[in-house]
């Protein structure tokens, strides 16, 4: 048997707000897509910016990998070669992040500002092709 209870719902406002400077907006591509299937409007703001790769940061994937790394380092520090084959077959797994430096205020001279409006047809099932 179904257990049906009564509840009261409240109305909430959802606001998406993002500040974009005029300088940034001048070099930005804006795509507005209408998905007729889901009746949604999709806003996408894209901007090419200058930057460069700086370094990589690595740290163990989780606490188990951190313990394994500390143990392996202890073995190396004490010159214990007993488990070298095991260490090669079971390396420490790391999260790797690339560190980049960005310069968003330097404009790219050959960049064209464009605004594109697009309608997604029903047969695309909400997928958009770039």
**What tens digit of pLDDT does each residue of 22-65 get?**
777 777 788 888 888 888 888 888 877 788 888 889 999 999 99
Give the structural domain span for 87.
Answer: 50-103
Calculate the average pLDDT of the chain. Answer: 78
- What pLDDT is recorded for position 70? 94
- Position 16 in a domain: no
- What pLDDT is recorded for position 46? 82
Counted domains in the chain = 2
CA–CA gap between residue 105 and residue 115 (Å, rounded) = 21
Check pLDDT > 80 for residue 73: yes
Q: Is 63 found in the same domain as 29?
A: no
Q: Is 69 found in the same domain as 34?
A: no
- Position 13 in a domain: no
Give the pair of three-digit tokens for residue 9. 């719902």
Q: What is the DSSP string of 56-120?
A: EEEEESSHHHHHHHHHHHHHHHTT--TTHHHHHHSPPPEEEEEEEEEETTS--TTPPPEEEEEEE
Lowest mean pLDDT among 5-9, 77-81, 88-92, 116-120: 116-120
CA–CA gap between residue 123 and residue 130 (Å, rounded) = 16
* Dihedral sign, Cα of residue 74, residue 76, residue 77, residue 81: positive
Which residue, 29, 41, 62, 51, is CA-closest to 130? 29
- Position 5 in a domain: no
Q: Is 77 found in the same domain as 60?
A: yes
Q: Is 39 found in the same domain as 83?
A: no
CA–CA gap between residue 48 and residue 52 (Å, rounded) = 13
**Phi first, then psi: what are they for 45, rounded to 5°?**
-110, 125
Q: Is 115 found in the same domain as 98?
A: no
User: What confidence tier does 130 reach under pLDDT thresholds 50, 70, 90?
Assistant: very low
């Amino acid at each position: 048997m179904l257990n049906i209870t009564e509840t009261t719902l409240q109305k909430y406002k959802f606001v998406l707000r993002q500040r974009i400077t005029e300088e940034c907006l001048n070099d930005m591509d804006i795509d507005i897509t209408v998905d007729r299937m889901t009746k949604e409007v999709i806003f996408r703001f894209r901007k090419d910016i200058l930057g460069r790769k700086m370094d990589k940061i690595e740290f163990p994937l989780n606490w188990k990998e951190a313990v394994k790394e500390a143990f392996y380092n202890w073995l190396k520090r004490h010159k214990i070669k007993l488990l070298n084959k095991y260490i090669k077959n079971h390396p420490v797994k790391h999260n790797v992040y690339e560190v980049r430096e960005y310069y968003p205020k330097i404009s790219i001279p050959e960049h064209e500002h464009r605004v594109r409006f697009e309608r997604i047809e029903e047969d695309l099932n909400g997928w958009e092709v770039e």
